[in-house]
Structure 1
Amino acid sequence: MEECCSTKPKKTETKKHNHAEGDGHGHDHSHGSEDKTAFQLFLPAVVSFLLLLIGITLDNYIKPEWFQGWVRIIWYLAAYIPVGLPVLKEAVESITRGDVFSEFLLMSIATIGAFAIGEYPEGVAVMLFYSVGEVFQELAVSRAKRNIKSLLDQRPDEVTILKNNQPQTVKAEKVSIGEIIQLKPGEKLGLDGELLSEKASFNTAALTGESKPDTKTKGDTVLAGMINLNTVSQIIVTTGYEDSKLSKILELVQNATAQKAPTELFIRKFAKVYTPIVVFLAIGICLLPYFFVSDYQFRDWLYRALVFLVISCPCALVISIPLGYFGGIGAGSRNGILIKGSNFLDVLANIKNVVMDKTGTMTEGVFKVQEVAFKNEFNKEDILKMVNVLESHSTHPVATAIHNYAGEVDHSIQLENVEEIPGHGLKATVNGKELLVGNFKLMDKFAINYDIKPENIVYTLIAIAYDKKFVGYITIADSIKKDAQLTINKLKALNVKTTMLSGDKSSVVKYVADSLGIQNAYGDLLPEDKVNKVKEIKAKNETVAFVGDGVNDAPVVALSDVGIAMGGLGSDATIETADVVIQDDMPSKIPMAINIGKQTKKIVWQNIILAFVVKGIVLILGAGGLATMWEAVFADVGVALLAILNAVRIQRMRF
């Protein structure tokens, strides 16, 4: 039954079959419904419907003498062929592939059987409505796939490069690293690069889901898919076409359907067992009553068996369920959340604990000077200039924060004997006097007396000593993200517990956690400490999502049920290691991802229950002779259409 609702392998033998990439006829959408208009897809059904309508009118109202015998049979055959021939062909092809019990065979037997007992209009009607249902399935799956591709495949085929200061239009894949792209307002960038112009604004919606302009300055990274908004800009290419972030993201989403949810896998296995059982039951319904019913009529029992076959098609299940999951992945992509497979949608739906890193997740990851507390006996401006010069020898974020606060480095200040003391800070000689900049362990190491208690100060502290005297300290802090509070509030509304784990000092971690209302917080942790904390939570049999950078916290990501990476655009490794990638660094996308998982699961189970209940009722009625082909059509095609419409709903939801 699997192949009846899956694609044929293409390009590589390892490509998995999955319905999200194909229609109910086993065709690939990229060469099927995407190349046809709705009119072309419905044309065979329209022709069949008109011939059927005329036939029924001639049969029941006009009743001309000539519409009898072979004329009547040929008329209904002409109505049957446009919709029936493709299905008969697929039935034969599925048998040659080893899939004997496909829905195509069920429909072929049922409709040919109806013709055999003289029920021509019903035979045509069953195949007609089935084919209409298949077209709707094609359109729905095709639309889901097209939505994702249109959201992500924003790469222009051609770009303008500068050669000898002359613009030339070339294919994007032909551009080499180091070449310069000229980007006009309104144009999309074709490759990743570094901005050479002083300033430019970009629309990053294709990558992050955010329509708010993002202003970049000279030296900033700009990515393929971004749209230039105002001035002509120049970008030097830093990454090849196939290795761009957008290419990786697009590949990720296209491959997402290969990771199947347990529900999908169960339905596939179920269909492979269920369909042959139904075929043999239909044979039993037709033949066994001969031995138990005194007035046995073969024609009546054959009709019941044919009705039973039509009802039994598991199309609503094997099509709407993958479509529901595919819609969930598409909904995530539209909101800047990349979910690597439908299995992770199921995990997200059941998350009970969100464990998060602090820096870069709930805070900006950009340190800023909060306070400069120097003793009055020292000239604040002179000390800051010396500290700024010394910190220019470091690439640490703290050094960057001090540089941003103090301004340009004063190169007239001469430093001697510059030394970095690991885990402590920096030491140098200025004007023959010793300058120390680092933590309070550095002060202790050089026996500098100080009159404050560092543990009582929340922020990260930079202690300074000059000429063997304690000058004072600078506090550095990482600001909390604007939507961090909203994130925690939404997680609480979803009954999800929150825990913060960080390598930062405990007082800082506790301050951030208390500010946001995070239930548990632990600081001063090494990577192995984080692993142990997550193990403690998992020991309570609760599902855990870990949110971090996906690289430094790799052991915790691997241990958690689902790893969520913040800032996926900044790290290739993050995109590859995390299960879910939030592209715009907004923590509020964490509860959104969980909500998408919950809504997807709800829709999938609604479809499962709908299909089983309706089919179960009509199967019983059909076996008892109380249901006709018309009820059978509703139980199969009607339920399939309702399930598809329900599955498509998730693509229109607001989260």
Structure 2
Amino acid sequence: MKTQETQTHSVHDHDHCCSHDSPVVAKTASQNHQHDHSHDHDHDGHNHGESQNASILKSRWMLWLSLTILGGYLVTTFIFRQEINRVAEFVLMASAYILAGNKTVAAAFRRVGRGDFFNEFTLMTIATFGAFFIGEFSEGVAVMVFYEIGELIQDLAVSRSKKSIKALLDVRPDTVTVIRNGVNTQADPATVQVGETILVKAGEKVALDGVLTSLNGTFNTAALTGESKPDVKSRNQQVLAGMINTEKTVEIEVRALFKDSKLSRILEMVQEATARKAPTQLLISRLAKIYTPIVFLLSVLIILVPLFFVADYQFQQWLYRGMVFLVIACPCALTISIPLGYFGGIGLASRNGILIKGANFLDVITKIDTVVSDKTGTLTKGVFKVQKIETNLDPTDFLIKTASLESYSTHPVAKAIVKHDETLELLKPQDVEEISGHGLKGTVNTETVLAGNLKLLDKFSVSYPRELADIVETIVVVAINGTYAGYITIADEIKEDAAKTVSDLESLGIETIMLSGDKEAIVSQTARQLHIAHSFGNLLPEDKVRVVESLKNEGRKIAFIGDGVNDAPVIALSDLGIAMGGMGSDAAIETADIVIQNDQPSKIVSAIRAGKITKSIVYQNISLAMGVKVLVMVLGAGGVATLWEAVFADVGVALLAILNAFRIQGKKI
């Protein structure tokens, strides 16, 4: 955690223009540098209380009072042409300076005391002290006042840009109604155990993951998916923490602890998101360590070098030019607008149901030229239904044994078999083994049951009718005690937006390739429907890895999108891993760099657009800031620009960059 000092500050709640950390995670700050200001405007998600708010308000009133004094002085001297005694002028301006700049000056001395001489606070302090030294009292105050106003504007800008991310912290209820011994009891969600039943009234948020035990219910899923359309759930269907019950009181059986809920994992990933800086941010941070000492050195040279070349050298004149150069050189516009742009990009994506786990991935996604996609649950709904049961045994007995074994799998095909006839009383299998890319093996009622694809029967040397290989639909073959017993065919359905996703990616110059463990015939059929030119079927997880490695060796920038446990290795291998957050496995979600909350493949296109918008605006701000600063620095060194022009150029460029970064918030993707 950040080192806290005893004194509270307001406008400079952290090292402005140097580092703006994650809105909810402050832990990385201490890894980079110690902050000079004691609190973080509640940026770490904690409320520092009324005393902190009072301190912030007090500091802002001091700033406005300083501005009022400066304004009154300027009106008196420049508009009404009234002269003020030099001593009175000094006292008046010194008072205004202390009101506005006391925290910046204190921060500068603390930094110098730690051996850090080249920083923004020291830069501003030297420039304004220099102005007082040569008698330009009002200009020294103006530099500090407008610098502080600029910092205040930047604080407000950062706060606003983080709202859509930080708002996620408000979706978890503090209390939950749990039914214990027939009595409704208010409890901390963290104390509720798996298997307990919670009561959720209309308008309340669901606190824990579970299954609906009431007949039905309607929920708003905006916190998880970015879309507020009602989601109707029936008994035994999954309900997730963060959903809002919109109609009637419902009961939910808890299936995951508070810390293990999908929402908790989302929040943890959001907390880490803005801590991962983009290469552009890291580059600017590295350059700042070089840039600031160079600026100080150039300022000193501007002051001293003319001594040897200018005949009528006047120290005060060249000192003034050096101070102007220092003020103009302040890198605020760059160091605030760049992270602000990335915060805006992450926020834009999150409002659209896309969780981007770090600013660096906003950069990566703009370079993708190939999207490799899993089929089942990604481009297809993964909601399978049993179409045909063919067996030489009693159909009911065959289905009971198969469904009992499949009940231990989370695969969509397995779920379809289990749900086909929910009136059946399933048995408890023993010694269940999931054979990756093949299927399941286990003991059901003392009999050894195999259920999976044809490769599973081949692996265990079970003979079967060879015509099964000609069946196009998804097929689950079953063997009992080493003998072929029958098969079940399953049908899947292509997602409504899958074809448009492929088309939109193509329009962006991005090729789509589909990989699947399903039979080649099914994969090819789906690929033809989606107009995907290249597809591969009959793949084991290691086969998918080999395909992606081959594509990367061709120099392609790969984004892989999947949802299953078997997709986790290839998600990790790709340049950008994308997981479906609704149906996706924990392993895929944890491994992925981007999570699509509502399982719509079209969100991939939205994420790419968010990345391109962010990159464009960030580079616009870099060009704007560098261009204007270089121009005004040259004018300042040449004696054309004054301290007044320097401060307005600095604050003005920063404000323009902030306003430009705000444009991200209004974009549609």
Instruction: Tell me the TM-score normalized by structure 2.
Output: 0.84
Partner residue in 1 for 2:544 = 530
How do 1:623-642 residues align onto structure 2 when only pairs under 5 Å count? 623-642=637-656
- Any conservation in 1 of the 2:564–2:584 contact (CA below 8 Å)? no
1:498 Cα shift?
A: 0.7
Tell me the equivalent position of 1:95. Answer: 112
Structure 1 pair 12–60 and aligned structure 2 pair: CA distance change class (3 A): closer
Distance 1:643 1:33, change over 3 A: farther
Query: Does residue 1:259 correspond to 2:276, yes or no?
Result: yes
Query: What does 1:227-376 align with in structure 2 at a 5 Å threshold?
Result: 227-369=244-386
Distance in 2, Cα, partners of 1:39 & 1:173: 36
Inter-partner Cα distance in structure 2 for 1:89 and 1:291: 36
The partner residue of 2:205 within 157, 171, 188 is 188
**Counterpart amino acid of residue 40 in structure 2:** D
- In structure 1, the residue corresponding to 2:228 is in which secondary structure? coil
The one-letter code of the counterpart of 1:29 is H
Per mean C-alpha deviation after superposition, the further-off stretch among 604-613 and 361-370 is 361-370
Residue 25 of structure 2 is aligned to residue 5 of structure 1: no
1:27-106 → structure 2 map (5 Å cutoff)? 27-30=39-42, 36=53, 42-64=60-82, 67-106=84-123
In structure 2, how many angstroms separate the alpha carbons of the residues matched to 1:506 and 1:286? 76
2:180 is matched with which residue: 153, 163, 182? 163
SS at match of 1:269: helix
- What's the offset of the Cα at 1:404? 5.5
The 8 Å contact of residues 580 and 589 in structure 2, kept in 1 or not, is answered as no
**1:29-77, CA deviations, whole angstroms, 9 ceiling, x for partnerless residues?**
2178996499766433322222112101221233446x21211111222
Moved more, 189-198 or 388-397: 388-397
Partner of 1:173: 190
Q: Which moved more, 1:158-167 or 1:200-209?
A: 158-167
Say if 2:512 is the partner of 1:495.
no
Q: Deviations over 1:209-252 (max 9, x none)?
A: 12122222333332221111122112233333333222221121
Instruction: Report Cα offsets for 1:456-497 as digits up to 9, x if no partner.
Output: x532246899xxxx9998743211111111211221121111
* Displacement after TM superposition at 1:305 (Å): 0.7
Change (3 A) 1:440 1:281: closer
Counterpart for residue 431 of structure 1: none
The residue aligned with 2:596 is 582
Give the Cα separation in 2 of the matches to 1:177 and 1:460.
34
Does the 8 Å CA contact 2:119/2:292 hold for their aligned counterparts?
yes
1:272-297 residue CA offsets vs partner (Å, 9 max, x unmatched): 11001111110110111011011111
8 Å CA contact retained: 2:515, 2:544: yes
Counterpart amino acid of residue 75 in structure 2? T
Measured after TM superposition, the shift of residue 267 of structure 1 is 0.5
SS of 1:366 mapped into structure 2: coil
Report SS of the residue matched to 2:565: coil
1:134 — aligned with what?
Answer: 151
Provide the C-alpha distance between the structure 2 equivalents of 1:235 and 1:493, rounded to a whole number of angstroms.
45
- After superposition, the CA RMSD in angstroms is 3.9
Q: How many Å separate the matches in 2 of 1:165 and 1:221?
A: 23
Letter of the 2:248 partner, please give it: T
Aligned length: 628
281-290 or 142-151, which deviates more: 142-151
Provide the secondary structure at the position in 2 that maps to 1:481: coil
8 Å contact kept, 2:20–2:336: no
Aligned-partner SS, 2:661: helix
Counterpart of 2:613 in structure 1 is: 599
Alignment of 1:556-571 (within 5 A): 556-567=570-581, 570-571=584-585
Task: State the one-letter code of the partner of 1:623.
Answer: A
Contact 2:178 2:187 in 1 (8 A): yes
**Which letter does structure 1 place at the counterpart of 2:561?**
V
Residues of 2 paired with 1:372 and 1:626: CA distance?
88
Note the 1:141-152 alignment, pairs <5 A: 141-152=158-169
Instruction: Give the deviation of 1:389 after TM superposition.
Output: 5.0
- CA gap of 1:47–1:550, structure 2 versus 1, over 3 A, is farther
**Deviation (angstroms), 1:333:** 1.8
Q: Report % sequence identity.
A: 52
Q: Deviations over 1:599-632 (max 9, x none)?
A: 1111111111111111111111111111112321
**CA–CA distance in structure 2, aligned partners of residues 12 and 480 of structure 1:** 39
Residue deviations 1:370-421, cap 9 Å, x none?
Answer: 57899xxx9xxx986676456444417556546756785599xxxxxxxx9x
Q: Give 1:215's aligned residue.
A: 232
Residue aligned with 1:113, SS: helix
| Matching residue's letter, 2:69 | L
What secondary structure is seen at the aligned counterpart in 1 of 2:492? strand
Cα separation, 1, equivalents of 2:171 and 2:76 = 55
Q: 1:53 to 1:449 in 2, by over 3 A?
A: closer
Larger radius of gyration: 1
**Structure 1 residues 551 and 454 mapped into 2: Cα distance closer, same or farther (>3 Å)?**
closer
For residue 616 of structure 1, the aligned residue among 630, 640, 643 is 630
2:22 and 2:575 map into 1 onto residues whose CA distance is: 31
User: Residue 447 of structure 2 corresponds to which residue in structure 1?
Assistant: none
Q: 1:569/1:144 Cα in 2 relative to 1: closer, same or farther (>3 Å)?
A: farther
- Native 8 Å contact 1:336 1:582 kept in 2: yes
Cα deviation, residue 554, structure 1? 2.6
How far apart are residue 205 of structure 1 and its match? 0.9
Structure 2: how far apart are the matches of 1:496 and 1:634?
Answer: 44
Cα separation, 2, equivalents of 1:471 and 1:109: 87
Query: Closer, same or farther in 2 for the Cα pair 1:285/1:245, shift >3 Å?
Result: same
State the 1:2 CA deviation: 7.8
| 2:377/2:583 contact within 8 Å kept | no
Q: In the alignment, residue 118 of structure 1 is paired with which amino acid?
A: G
Q: 1:4, 1:102 within 8 Å by CA — same for their partners in 2?
A: no
Shift of 1:439: 7.2
Distance 1:278 1:571, change over 3 A: same
Q: Structure 1 CA distance, aligned partners of 2:440 and 2:257? A: 39
Of 510, 513, 525, the match for 2:527: 513
Measure, in 2, the Cα distance between the counterparts of 1:84 and 1:160: 51
Q: Deviations over 1:565-607 (max 9, x none)?
A: 1135753333321111112211111111111111111111111
- Give the Cα separation in 1 of the matches to 2:487 and 2:190: 53
- The counterpart of 1:555, out of the listed 543, 549, 569, is 569
1:10 and 1:384 mapped to 2: Cα distance? 58
Contact preservation (8 Å) 1:371, 1:475: yes
Q: Tell me the distance in 2 between the aligned counterparts of 1:472 and 1:12.
A: 55
Contact 2:559 2:576 in 1 (8 A): yes
SS in structure 1 opposite 2:342?
Answer: helix
Instruction: Specify the alignment match of 1:16 in structure 2.
Output: 29
- C-alpha distance in structure 2 between counterparts of 1:464 and 1:9, whole Å: 52
Shift of 1:361: 0.6
Q: Secondary structure at the match of 2:184?
A: strand
Unaligned 5+ segments in structure 1 are 412-419, 427-435
